[in-house]
Structure 1
Amino acid sequence: MSLVDALQWRYAAKRLNGEAVPEEKLERILEAARLAPSSFGLQPWSLVHVRSPELRQRIHDAAAPQPQVIEGSDLLVFAVHDSDFYQQLDHHIRHTAETRGMTESDLAGFRDMIKGTLDGKGDHQAHLAWAARQAYIGLGVAIAAAASEQVDASPMEGFKPDALDEVLGLHDKGLRSVALLALGYRDAERDQGAGFKKVRRSMEKFVYRLG
């Protein structure tokens, strides 16, 4: 199945049947998210994988009362790093140097360029908003990866971030949740959206071709 065919197949399933996603499919979805692009390769976000039914029930009750949370197989939490972004930059430079067999001084110009970008964005809250946009790139990649695996994926923003962070202890990990993705398999009999034709603007109305 091509990626376009997989995206035609997928929809945001609201009811899931509880069937477990095979481990190998889950790992490929997680790996795709890990490989998602981010500005300068900085990856200012992480994934929190929740499989425990008990923990997902607590998330449902306290922060995200959507049925996908408890009816699915797995819940992915996309969370930004709530730490000093200049420290994140220093770690990224060290990691890049180690991975590519370079010295940190070799990357001085690269570091200065990223620092200039951070300086221009303003305060920590602005940095967090920038990081959240990077996390959403990963969310999109994970959705596409799930579709290619014929796994249903339901993205969610309608939850209480502070309550979710408390349930999962994310503040202690230096993280803040920004989006959720429930993984599983559609329950076509209970999901009113199952089988509906996909509604999208036509290519002519969607793409502006300028030359």
Structure 2
Amino acid sequence: MNSIQSLQWRYAVKKFDNNTYLSDQQINTLKEAFNLTATSYGLQPIKLVVIKNKEIQQQLVEHSWNQQQVAQASHVLILCIDTHLNENDVEKYFERVQEIRNTPDDIINPFKDYLKQLITNKSSEDLTTWAKNQAYLALGNLLTVCANEQIDSCPMEGFIPEKYDEVLDLASKNLSSVLVLPVGFRAEDDFMKDLKKVRKNIDEIVVEIS
């Protein structure tokens, strides 16, 4: 399928096949796609938690507005933000830049100093909002990659982040959950799987200026 056909095929799965699992290769593709997501300044203030544990998945259902997809899915991907982002993260980023690109200090340092000051001057609330925006970018990327790879998914904002953080002990990793993405394969009796998409006409949603 081409990209548009893949996106037509994709939908928010309401019922997963509880007995079918993604391969290691498929999960690795999603991990790589997450890592390759565009983020502001390239700082990647996000992390991906990958769960393949039916006991934990079932435990999370009650904190997901009882959405059974969390238990049924092959894996549950949880997009998290770094809750302790600071200038040291900027320093580490530019160390990677130098390691990978061998960029000279005189080119790197002005931008590095600018980003350190930017991060330092932001309030914790502003940093949280900014990091959450990066998580949404990653979710969009993952949904598209899932569609292209014929992996079913169901993006979720409907969960209680504080409870997820508690169950998964995310605070100890300086993480906070933002979005949930169960992935796997649609069940044959999912009532949504054969329904046509409901979308606006292109000319209603796209504005062309020439």
Instruction: Bin the TM-score by the shorter chain.
Output: over 0.9
Q: Distance in 2 between matches of 1:71 and 1:209?
A: 42
TM-score, length-normalised on structure 1?
0.92
Once the two structures are superposed, what CA deviation does each residue of 1:68-106 show, in whole Å capped at 9, x if it has no partner?
101010000000001033222122122222222235554
Question: 1:50 matched to which residue of 2?
Answer: 51
Which residue in 1 is equivalent to 2:199? 200
CA gap of 1:46–1:209, structure 2 versus 1, over 3 A, is same
CA distance in 2, matches of 1:25, 1:107: 36
Identity percentage over the alignment?
Answer: 31
Contact kept in structure 2, 1:93 and 1:104, CA below 8 Å:
no
Q: Give the match for residue 141 of structure 2.
A: 141
Distance 1:104 1:161, change over 3 A: farther
CA contact (8 A) 1:84 1:124 kept: no
Q: CA deviation at 1:45?
A: 0.2
- Which structure 2 residues correspond to residues 184-195 of structure 1 after superposition, within 5 A? 184-189=184-189, 191-195=190-194
Q: Deviations along 1:15-64, whole A, 9 cap, x unmatched?
A: 10121012212211221111010011110001000001111112223455
CA distance in 2: counterparts of 1:142 and 1:186, whole angstroms: 17
User: Match of 1:16?
Assistant: 16
Q: Which range moved further: 105-114 or 123-132? A: 105-114
Q: How far apart, CA to CA, are the structure 2 residues paired with 1:72 and 1:104?
A: 47
Q: If the length of structure 2 is used for normalisation, what is the TM-score? A: 0.93
* Structure 2 gap segments, 5+ residues each: none
Q: How does 1:52-71 map to 2 (within 5 A)?
A: 52-63=53-64, 65-71=66-72
SS at 1:156 equivalent: coil
| Aligned-residue CA RMSD (Å) | 1.7
Question: In the alignment, what sits opposite 2:110?
Answer: 109
Q: Deviations 1:113-168 (Å, cap 9, x if unpaired)?
A: 32354366x30111111011011111111111111111101000111101100111
Please state whether the residue corresponding to 1:155 is helix, strand or coil. Answer: coil
Structure 1: stretches of 5+ with no match in the other structure: none
Provide the C-alpha distance between the structure 2 equivalents of 1:85 and 1:22, rounded to a whole number of angstroms.
Answer: 36
**One-letter amino acid of the structure 1 residue matched with residue 102 of structure 2:** G
In structure 1, C-alpha distance between the alignment counterparts of 2:207 and 2:191, rounded to whole Å: 34
Deviates more, 1:85-94 or 1:111-120: 111-120
**2 CA distance for matches of 1:75 and 1:34?**
17
Once residues 10 and 127 of structure 2 are traced to their aligned partners in structure 1, the CA distance between those partners, rounded to angstroms, is 33
The runs of at least 4 aligned residues of structure 1 exceeding 4 Å deviation read: none
Question: How far off is 1:188 after superposition?
Answer: 3.5
Following the alignment from structure 2 to structure 1, what is the Cα–Cα distance between the partners of residues 85 and 203? 44
Matches within 5 A, 1:77-116: 77-104=78-105, 106-115=107-116
